[in-house]
Amino acid sequence: MDGSLIISNILNPPILFFFLGMTAVLVKSDLEIPPPVPKLLSLYLLFAIGFKGGVELIKSGITQEVALTLLAAMLMACFVPIYTFFILKLKLDNYDAAAIAATYGSISAVTFITASAFLTELGIAFDGYMVAALALMESPAIIVGLILVNLFTVDEKRELAWSEVLKEAFLNSSVFLLVGSLLIGLLSGEHGWKVMEPFAQGLFYGMLTFFLLDMGLVAARRIKDLQKTGVFLISFAILIPILNAGIGLLIAKLIGMPQGNALLFAVLCASASYIAVPAAIRITVPEANPSLYVSTALAVTFPFNIIVGIPLYLYGIELLWR
């Protein structure tokens, strides 16, 4: 693998600010971002990527390539939590195994956005309809994870409130805003983009950089929780994303995705949710230990993907597409 890809990725300002945030915690600086600000930054990034994706989707239309990509995204969102559940059951109880499996079956929007910025920096084209794949992969893993809990636990007192499950899966703030922005982009089209471009694109890179500064702070604070996960889960949090990305790349090659789309699809397959799924799991599977499924996704998989994973998956694409 060409080490220049990793170096190029690490030297991007957003990644450097991620390291700055981690360093601030490790050296015990009092650097802190007020709680409402990261939420605002997160909402902005979801709005911007969703709106642009909707505009691009209306340009491309629903072609066979688009349909196959979206179908592959939904299948991976269902497949990953099923097979990882049985791996995790080797060491964990059913509740924790299902919670972590759902976490890794879903996606990280920020990892996707970071990969999009990486492609833009390298001048590699990708299609806006990949945002639709992002939106479709957020929720199925939550539902599959909860089904697994109910299939493999014998607890007559435990009742599954499907109204709560569906509400958390499809109406949580990140999914709702992302899908809503996508639809608005579809409806407003090129005219809407001309109006919103200074806000939706002009501020995007700076917002991403500041958000990753906060993520560095949060990830570093979660490192201590890794002591509770053990070697098994730390290894899982690195190896499973690589395996999922590999499966994603093979699917992308099979259905003929261009390289930029293939990288984004691989990143979606490799990432893990640390916002939407944990929020849903806390409500619907309170028996699961949050320090396991949050710390593995946020303190291991997220940094691994944005620092090493993205250039590693691009290297895989260069080999497969050669």
Looking at the domain that runs over 3-26+34-320, which CATH code has it been given? 1.20.1530.20
In this structure, what is the dihedral angle of CA atoms 108, 37, 54, 102, given to the nearest 10 degrees? 20
User: How does pLDDT run across 95-126, given as a tens digit for each residue?
Assistant: 999 999 999 999 998 999 999 989 998 999 99
Given pLDDT bands bounded at 50, 70 and 90, which one contains residue 286?
confident
| Residue corresponding to tokens 């809990």 | 149
What pLDDT is stored for residue 23 in this prediction? 94
pLDDT attached to residue 164: 66
pLDDT of residue 258: 94
Quote the pLDDT of residue 262.
Answer: 97
User: Could you give the residue ranges of the DSSP H alpha helices within the chain?
Assistant: 3-10, 13-26, 36-60, 64-88, 94-105, 109-122, 130-138, 140-152, 162-170, 173-200, 204-222, 226-255, 259-270, 276-284, 290-295, 302-304, 310-320
* Percent of the chain at pLDDT exceeding 90: 45
Mean pLDDT of the chain: 88
- The reported pLDDT for the residue numbered 312 is 95
Q: What is the phi-psi region of residue 2: left when phi exceeds 0, alpha when psi lies from -120 to 50, beta otherwise?
A: beta
Q: What is the pLDDT of residue 6?
A: 76
The 10s digit of each residue's pLDDT in 235-271 is 999 999 999 999 999 999 999 999 999 999 999 999 9
Q: What is the pTM of this model?
A: 0.87
Examine the pLDDT at 75 and tell me if it is beyond 90.
yes
Find the Cα–Cα–Cα–Cα dihedral 266, 270, 273, 278, rounded to 10°.
150
What integer pLDDT is reported at residue 139 of this predicted model?
A: 83
Please tell me the predicted confidence (pLDDT) of residue 154.
64
Do the beta carbons of residue 217 and residue 28 sit within 8 Å? Answer: no
Q: What is the pLDDT of residues 152-188, one digit of tens each?
A: 876 655 565 666 667 766 777 777 888 899 899 989 9
Banded model confidence at residue 27, pLDDT cuts 50, 70, 90: very high
Q: Indicate if the pLDDT at residue 317 is higher than 60.
A: yes
